[in-house]
Amino acid sequence: MPRIRFEPDGIEIEVKAGTTILQAAEEAGALLGSACGGVCACSTCHVYVNEGSDGLSEIDECEEDNLDKAFDVRRNSRLACQARLQADGRIVVTISPASRQTFFDEHPGLRRR
Ligand code: FES
């Protein structure tokens, strides 16, 4: 099964193949924002893939278009609701500062975590 680690908090979880990064984050309790609910209509689930990008689904046109709206997009940027973990192996992502901010905006009670 694929394994994913969420930085900067170091939260790690094993998930079934086909799970999106966003679904894995929700399962693990990682602080990843998702303003549109995971339907590729915003860019608040922006993450940086540090390791294991080969184990992720290909980027499609919708993801590309919405990534263009994100802040500080890099070559290893992905939208967590669109990128699926496909293969066994370990993936390490860093949740973008804007995505963490969205998470706290959505969950004000968790601001001090
Ligand atoms: S949660 Fe909106 S694009 Fe991923």
What DSSP element (H or E) covers 82?
A: none
Determine the Cα–Cα distance for residues 51 and 108; give it in Å rounded to an integer.
31
pLDDT > 70 in the chain, percent: 98
Task: Ligand 1 pocket test: pick from 44, 93, 103, 105 the residue with the most ligand atoms within 8 Å of its Cβ.
Answer: 44
Residue 3 has pLDDT above 60, yes or no: yes
Model confidence pLDDT, tens digit, residues 24-46: 999 999 999 999 999 999 999 99
* Confidence check: pLDDT of 81 > 80: yes
pLDDT higher at 43 or 108: 43
* Domains (range + CATH), the chain: 2-107 (3.10.20.30)
pLDDT at 111 over 80: no
Across the range 13-34, mean pLDDT stands at 97
Give every CB contact of residue 65 below 8 A, 6+ residues apart in sequence. none
**Any idea what the Cα angle at residue 40 is, between residues 36 and 46, rounded to 5°?**
80
Atom from ligand 1 closest to the CA of residue 36: 2
